Amino acid sequence: MAIFSSLAGFFKRNKRRILITSAVTLSVYLIVNEFVIKKFRNYQNALRQELMFKQQIKQRFIQTQQDCYYTILALLPVLATPIVDSLPVEFITQALRLKKGQPQQQPPQQQIPSGSNSELTTDNLNLLDNNNNPESKLSIYMNKSKLELWNLLKIKTITRTLTLIYSISGLLLVTRLQLNVLARRSYLESAILMAGVKNNNNDSDPHETYLIEQSYLSLSWWLLNKGWFNLSSLIENIVIKKFEKITPKTELGIIEFEILLNDIINEINTNNKELILSNLFPINYQDLLDTIVNTNPDLIHYLDIPDSSLIKLINETNNIMLDGNLYFFDLLNSLILTNLNTLSSNLSANLSNVSNSLVMSGNLPDQKGEEITSQTNNNSTTLTSSKIVELPDKSYKLASFLAQLSVQNGIMINNNESKDEEQDEFENLMNNLNNFSGGIETENFQSNNELNGNIYVNTMNQLDDLDDFSAGIYSNFE
């Protein structure tokens, strides 16, 4: 009892202090629970949402870049067909092949000795039949001399190669720009909707939005139908000037040939920046009007509405392309040079393989064989019983470069992962070219590894600067 009495007395004496202490303790607990623990939990939730947000952005970004890649592959045939048709390397080659040993009128059934200068295949007989037709494209070239045909072949082959490089590089870059702009716009709208913020564009018709986006994407029609032709004309004039004094029999090294092509690219880019950009995308109003009329004429009235979504998309694209701070043109040049490096590597590998194969098979002329033997002490070419070691400074005739350029053109426009029939045509073209350039049979003039997939698009698509450019557009939420 004494204990309880003493406790009761203690509480009576310290009642006020105990109440104040309890109140303070409870208040502190409530404050900590309300402002610290809950804040910590809210921070955890916010951090978790931020990580999810970043992951979604990353996934959408990756998906957008994959969409760009497959879009390019799908558009390659559309882009390449008119370029190939307008620069008819095949017809010129066929005309040269026929003029090499134009025979007397012999029936198709007659067998001509193999290796004869008058050798005529079934294909050549068909070509002769086509030549009798005044409407045949081949007849145009059959009326020219061999010298004229060789000069045409030189100019058209190199022009076709550079036109494809410029057009494919530009198409890839513009497609990246367009799809990333649309992907960012779509993601921003969905993020605003999820956040519960009122969106002023929420009342827009989804079908109308879809039509506008499709119309914006279809602006690539300009490059696919008009822009490449203007670029080709520009390129051809400079090619004629640079290769005027170089004949098909002129011997060039790989590096020397690459420097010639690089000089052409530098001259094109130095004085024609605005012209190049205006042919990749309809920057000028008249070009834009022409493109809309040919793609989506029902939406042409949007061009007269300054605040329309279509005009906003077009203006943003133009600003990015023309703004020097965003390095659009520099990136385009990087893509072009990347393709040039890929081209040089493929030419070096294929020409070396062909030269080695010819030496091993004994198909090289005696003079060439003596030259190879005499140069072994100079480390130019070493021939052993098992292998040939060759340094990359070896020279080749321009005709050999033209043949390989035709093969590389086929690879540039290949949108499949495997070799197809179109590649066989380019291999035949390559063999034909070398047959009348030096009398050397070149059945093995090919590299099967280079004919599988599109190494040019793949190499460009893996360029870090291109991903940085896409990320800069995708993350611009102004």
Instruction: Provide the 3-class DSSP secondary structure of residue 252.
Output: strand
Selection from 397, 362, 355, 221 nearest residue 292 by Cα: 221
Judge whether 437 and 249 are in contact, CB under 8 Å: yes
CA 144 from chain centre, in angstroms, equals 36
Q: How far apart are CA 1 and CA 6, in angstroms?
A: 9
- Going by their DSSP bridges, the two strands 381-383 and 388-390 should be labelled as antiparallel
Q: Which residues of 439-460 are buried (b: 16+ CB within 10 A; e: fewer)?
A: ebebeebbbeebbebbbbbeeb
Any idea which residue has 């203690």 for tokens? 10
Going from N- to C-terminal start, the domains of the chain cover 43-86+145-474
Q: How far apart are CA 79 and CA 82, in angstroms?
A: 7
Selection from 31, 34, 153 nearest residue 97 by Cα: 153
Digit-coded pLDDT (tens) for 169-183:
999 999 999 999 998
pTM of the model: 0.75
Q: What is the 3-state secondary structure (H, E, C) of 51-77?
A: HHHHHHHHHHHHHHHHHHHHHHHHHHH
Digit-coded pLDDT (tens) for 110-121:
333 333 333 334
Q: Output the tens digit of pLDDT for each of the chain's 478 residues.
A: 667 677 677 677 777 777 788 888 877 777 777 777 777 777 788 788 778 877 877 888 899 999 999 999 999 999 999 999 999 999 999 988 888 765 433 333 333 333 333 333 444 444 444 444 534 678 888 888 889 999 999 999 999 999 999 999 999 999 999 999 998 887 776 666 665 555 555 556 788 889 999 999 999 999 999 999 999 999 999 999 999 989 989 999 999 999 999 999 999 999 899 999 999 999 999 999 999 999 999 989 998 888 899 999 999 999 999 886 658 999 999 999 999 999 999 999 888 776 666 555 555 444 333 333 333 334 433 333 333 334 356 889 999 999 999 999 999 998 875 444 444 544 554 455 445 444 333 333 333 334 356 899 999 999 999 999 998 888 775 5
The secondary structure of residue 417, as a DSSP letter, is S
